[in-house]
């Protein structure tokens, strides 16, 4: 009888053990962190007033981004009204408009970052799909060994500390506990400075225990002038202007903390001296210094936009560039015209599109912004992908294979056999300048 009960006890303990940890062989659990506009958002309405008769006052939860259907002519006004945020100058925080609840979709599930368009019909809606499918083909299971850590990309670091970072920490710890393996973290675009803010508040012991490697795709470490352009005269972010006008987009983007979070600021020698001026106007020129940016926002002040300076002081200074304390591999695009300065002279400031001066990058982020960590952090590698667009980097075979080589033990990436472009940390004793040829097409003085 004792032997029989002992046998049952051993079986029970084996079952409990299998539920506590799961054997996933050579796979490391992986978390995907999207960038700005990089995950679906849903809303629920209970409004007392709306800007147009076509706008709904009440609704159950419905997809807000990316949903071109609700932006049909006249619907764009409703969409902007529901998406924008309100800034409280006393608490220095933002909140949704009265009667609007808004939240990111699909915590853990990857579908909401694979395709931003829930119907998978709009080409710009294709996002993390290629990376996810590559992981799945190699044995990963969505929402189990591979998870998406979606967040409210309208916000900034101080607000993510409240409602996002604790969830991200728990997700990573739970995956480690379940599979007994360190976690690989893959981020794109704004997801990278977001992760730097997260790593800054985590202890060295925590990072050493839970994180195997952090793969940074098209990171915006030193900001992007394109973000400043969206605050001055607007950016359509790929949305057809027939659906939402440029001035409407500007009004909305001016209320997002994340837009200020990505504004460049002069922080280091990585910023090229050849292009210290990033905005030209008839009255004066502006660098990325804090004092110049404050002056720029004051020059844009209107009765409807009297909060720019306060939001810049609050959210524009939250981006950190400190060493994350984990192994990092940076993937970045070069050789594409990328906005590095805007010329609003001839009375174009601030309501008309500027002349844009270009530098080398991925068409969105200058390469000196993406590569900052390689030249300043203790454990960083980089892979240059020539002529790769900001989002095309997510579909590049070499990028995907290199990430898989971190996530899967003994993975033999076919693309890396063809050409190894892996660059390792340089000898900083020979100087810190990263440019040995001019990339800049400067304005004529």
Of 433 and 331, the one with more pLDDT? 331
Predicted confidence at residue 9, as pLDDT, reads 46
Residues 392-438: pLDDT tens digits? 999 999 999 999 999 999 998 765 545 444 433 333 333 333 333 33
Is the pLDDT reported for residue 216 higher than 70?
yes
Domain boundaries, the chain: 30-41+84-430
Q: How many helices (H) and strands (E) would you count in the chain?
A: 17, 16
Is the pLDDT reported for residue 17 higher than 60?
no
Over range 265-287, report the average pLDDT: 83
Number of other CB atoms surrounding residue 386 within 10 Å: 10
* Percent with pLDDT over 70 in the chain: 87
Is the pLDDT reported for residue 13 higher than 80?
no
Predicted confidence at residue 35, as pLDDT, reads 98
Is the pLDDT reported for residue 20 higher than 90?
no
Is the pLDDT reported for residue 92 higher than 60?
yes
DSSP secondary structure letter of residue 393: G
Q: Which CATH architecture describes the domain 30-41+84-430?
A: 3-Layer(aba) Sandwich (3.40)
The whole model's pTM is what?
0.88
Is the pLDDT reported for residue 131 higher than 90?
yes
Instruction: Provide the angle, in degrees to the nearest 10, between the axes of the packed helices 246-253 and 225-232.
Output: 110
Q: Strand, coil or helix: what is 251? A: helix
Predicted confidence at residue 427, as pLDDT, reads 35
**Among 5-19, 91-105, 413-427, the range of highest mean pLDDT:** 91-105
Mean pLDDT of the chain: 88
Is the pLDDT reported for residue 364 higher than 90?
yes
Over range 89-117, report the average pLDDT: 96
Is the pLDDT reported for residue 119 higher than 50?
yes
Predicted confidence at residue 123, as pLDDT, reads 82
Predicted confidence at residue 415, as pLDDT, reads 54
Predicted confidence at residue 419, as pLDDT, reads 47
Residues 40-65: pLDDT tens digits? 999 999 999 998 888 999 999 999 99
In order of 225, 227, 246, 281, 406, the CA distances from 278 in angstroms are 7, 12, 21, 10, 38
Six-digit token pair at 428? 């900083």
Say which range, 73-77, 95-99, 234-238, 350-354, has the weakest mean pLDDT. 73-77
Predicted confidence at residue 437, as pLDDT, reads 37
Over range 89-115, report the average pLDDT: 96
**Is the bond into 66 cis (omega within 30 degrees of 0)?**
yes
Six-digit token pair at 14? 């084996």
Spatial neighbors of 8 by CB under 8 A, at least 6 apart, are none
pLDDT confidence band for 267 (50 / 70 / 90) = low
- Torsion angles phi and psi, residue 319, rounded to 5: -70, 130
Is the pLDDT reported for residue 160 higher than 80?
yes
Predicted confidence at residue 336, as pLDDT, reads 98
Is the pLDDT reported for residue 328 higher than 60?
yes
Spatial neighbors of 9 by CB under 8 A, at least 6 apart, are none
């Amino acid at each position: 009888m004792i032997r029989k009960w002992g046998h049952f006890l051993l079986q029970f303990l084996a079952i409990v053990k299998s539920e506590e940890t799961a054997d996933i062989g050579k796979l490391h659990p992986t978390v995907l962190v999207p960038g700005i506009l990089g995950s679906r958002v849903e809303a629920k309405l209970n409004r007392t007033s709306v800007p147009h008769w076509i706008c709904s006052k009440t609704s159950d939860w419905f997809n807000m981004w990316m949903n071109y259907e609700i932006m049909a002519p006249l619907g764009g006004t409703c969409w902007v009204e529901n998406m924008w945020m309100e800034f409280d100058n006393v608490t220095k925080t933002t909140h949704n408009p009265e009667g609007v609840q808004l939240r990111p979709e699909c915590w853990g599930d990857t579908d909401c970052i694979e395709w931003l368009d829930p119907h998978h019909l709009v080409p710009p809606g294709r996002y993390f799909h290629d990376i996810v499918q590559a992981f799945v083909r190699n044995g990963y299971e969505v929402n189990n060994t591979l998870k998406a850590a979606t967040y409210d990309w309208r916000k900034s670091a101080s607000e993510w500390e409240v409602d996002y970072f604790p969830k991200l920490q728990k997700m990573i710890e739970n995956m480690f506990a379940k599979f007994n393996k360190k976690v690989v973290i893959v981020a794109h675009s704004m997801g990278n400075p977001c992760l730097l803010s997260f790593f800054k508040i985590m202890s060295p012991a925590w990072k050493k225990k839970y994180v195997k490697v952090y793969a940074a795709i098209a990171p915006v470490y030193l900001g992007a002038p394109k973000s400043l352009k969206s605050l001055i005269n607007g950016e359509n972010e790929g949305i057809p202007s027939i659906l939402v006008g440029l001035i409407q987009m500007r009004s909305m983007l001016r209320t997002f903390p994340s837009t200020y979070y990505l504004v460049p600021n002069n922080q280091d020698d990585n910023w090229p001296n050849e292009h210290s001026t990033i905005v030209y106007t008839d009255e004066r020129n502006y660098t990325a210094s804090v004092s110049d940016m404050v002056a720029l926002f004051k020059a844009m002040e209107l009765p409807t936009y009297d909060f720019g300076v306060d939001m810049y002081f609050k959210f524009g200074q939250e981006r950190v560039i400190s060493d994350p304390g984990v192994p990092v591999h940076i993937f970045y695009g070069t050789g594409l015209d990328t906005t590095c300065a805007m010329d609003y002279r001839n009375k174009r400031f601030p309501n008309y599109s500027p002349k844009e001066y270009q530098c080398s990058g991925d068409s969105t982020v200058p390469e000196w912004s993406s590569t900052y960590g390689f030249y300043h952090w203790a454990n960083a590698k980089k892979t240059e992908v020539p002529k790769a667009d900001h989002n095309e980097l997510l579909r590049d075979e070499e990028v995907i294979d290199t990430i898989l080589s971190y996530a899967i033990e003994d993975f033999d990436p076919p693309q890396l056999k063809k050409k190894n472009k892996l660059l390792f940390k340089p000898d900083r004793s020979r100087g810190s300048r990263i440019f040995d040829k001019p990339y800049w097409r400067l304005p004529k003085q």
